[in-house]
Amino acid sequence: MRTYLVTGGAGFIGSNFIHYMFDRYQDAIKIINVDALTYAGNLSNLEAVAGLPNYKFVKADITDRKVIEKLFDKNDVDVVVHFAAESHVDRSIKDPDCFVRTNVLGTTNMLNAAMGAWRLSNGKFIPGKKFLHVSTDEVYGSLPEEGGYFYEDTPYAPHSPYSASKASSDLIVKAYMDTYGFPANITNCSNNYGPYQFPEKLIPLMIHNALEGKPLPVYGDGKNVRDWLYVEDHVSAINHVINEAKLFETYNIGGNNEKQNIEIVRTIIDVLKELLPEADPRRANLSYDLITYVDDRLGHDRRYAIGADKIRKDLGWEPKTKFVDGIRKTIIWYFENQDWMERVTSGMYQAYYEQMYGGKL
């Protein structure tokens, strides 16, 4: 039985990964999920697996050296899948410090604990161990509108405190691979969408506001481009990298699916209008008039697009979900899980929303 230590498993991509793995491998794996349960971590994302005997949740901060070392002492961890991070660009602009703490120091702490458990006295590592560091395409900076793609050898040029902290964490992982021969892979993925994403990110925030009849805050001219990937395709790519990638390789993961923000917002309005019954008073309110252009994000990257040729060629991975299907599935999921949305947007979320958008709308 293979033991996975997943960090940040109560967040958006981590919880999708845990569901994906139990759906496929059932009792052939054990998963230990370490999560500090920040505002972005939600145990209700994992209700369906919480009672499994081969699943364990540990509430802990990845910067806590003693607790993380103890986890490695008590468990024979085979694979670390490191998702835990502060992940939202707008928050990083308001409060960069915790991004450096979690993303840089937390990653270093995870690496040190894994080294302690996996490195033999001769300096070699126990065979079969792997640390998968989950990162973002934002480390590469911004592409011109006219074209081009991010490849694995594109120089790092991050702009936001978020992407700079992720770039730093990638470089620390690379340094451990180069210096100690530490058994790791790095993945750099484009924007994900799908179930369980916290409604501070574009797609769930717009769905949430549209259902409440609130303005839809589009930054700048709304023409910034992101390369959207359905989250299940991302976690399947991660699984390929865990099982098939040679150690020390880096893989870019993307949807080959570029969209301007404004197109996404319009699609959300169109699909929700179809879903809401005629008699629902929210339907009458729902129109493109809710779209409200607000001040641009500081340092806003114009365009991201991933060249995913290497993972396709080396590992045979390709995204399975077409955007038209994925976005529909996603909107329907949020529509049918409005109680989840209510739970995660109560309390602190209200204060966050007021701080971020209060002066803009």
Active-site residue numbers? 137-138, 162
SS3 65: helix
Residues 197-216 that bind ligand NAD (CB under 6 A): 198
Cα(185)–Cα(249) distance, integer angstroms: 5
**For residues 79 and 308, which CB has a smaller minimum distance to ligand TYD in the complex?**
308
Cα(110)–Cα(101) distance, integer angstroms: 13
Lookup: tokens for 192: 């994900």
Is 205 one of the binding residues for ligand TYD (CB under 6 A)? yes
- In which region does residue 103 sit, left (phi positive, over 0), alpha (psi from -120 to 50) or beta (all else)? alpha
Is 323 one of the binding residues for ligand NAD (CB under 6 A)? no
Spatial CA neighbour of 197 closest among 13, 57, 351, 346: 13
Residues 165-184 that bind ligand NAD (CB under 6 A): 166
Q: Which of 25, 180, 219, 248 binds ligand TYD (CB under 6 A)?
A: 219
Other CB atoms within 10 A of residue 269 CB: 19
Q: Which of 11, 217, 319, 326 binds ligand TYD (CB under 6 A)?
A: 217
Least separation in angstroms between residue 106's CB and ligand TYD is 19
**Total interface residues for ligand NAD by CB under 6 A:** 31
Q: Where are the beta strands (DSSP E) in 200-269?
A: 216-219, 225-227, 229-230, 250-253, 258-260
Q: Which of 5, 14, 77, 227 binds ligand NAD (CB under 6 A)?
A: 14
**For residues 40 and 117, which CB has a smaller minimum distance to ligand NAD in the complex?**
40
Is 310 one of the binding residues for ligand NAD (CB under 6 A)? no
Amino acid letter for position 67: V
Is 233 one of the binding residues for ligand NAD (CB under 6 A)? no
Burial status of residue 262 (CB atoms within 10 A of its CB: 0-12, 13-18, 19 or more): middle
| β 225-227/184-189 pair status | unpaired
Q: Indicate which of ligand TYD, ligand NAD, none lies near residue 252 (CB less than 5 to 8 Å, by partner kind).
A: none
Residues 222-241 that bind ligand TYD (CB under 6 A): 224, 226
Least separation in angstroms between residue 311's CB and ligand NAD is 14
352: Cα separation from own chain's centroid = 20
Q: Which of 21, 22, 41, 170 binds ligand NAD (CB under 6 A)?
A: 41
Least separation in angstroms between residue 79's CB and ligand TYD is 26
Q: Indicate which of ligand NAD, ligand TYD, none lies near residue 217 (CB less than 5 to 8 Å, by partner kind).
A: ligand TYD
Cα(149)–Cα(188) distance, integer angstroms: 13
Contact criterion met (CB below 8 Å) for 104 and 168: yes
Least separation in angstroms between residue 88's CB and ligand NAD is 7
Is 83 one of the binding residues for ligand NAD (CB under 6 A)? yes
Q: What are phi and psi of 4, to 5 degrees?
A: -105, 130
**For residues 160 and 185, which CB has a smaller minimum distance to ligand TYD in the complex?**
160
Is 114 one of the binding residues for ligand TYD (CB under 6 A)? no
Cα(233)–Cα(45) distance, integer angstroms: 18
Q: Rg of the chain's alpha carbons, rounded to an integer?
A: 20
Least separation in angstroms between residue 135's CB and ligand TYD is 12
**Piece of the chain touching ligand NAD by CB under 6 A; list 85-93, 141-149, 255-263, 315-323:** 85-93
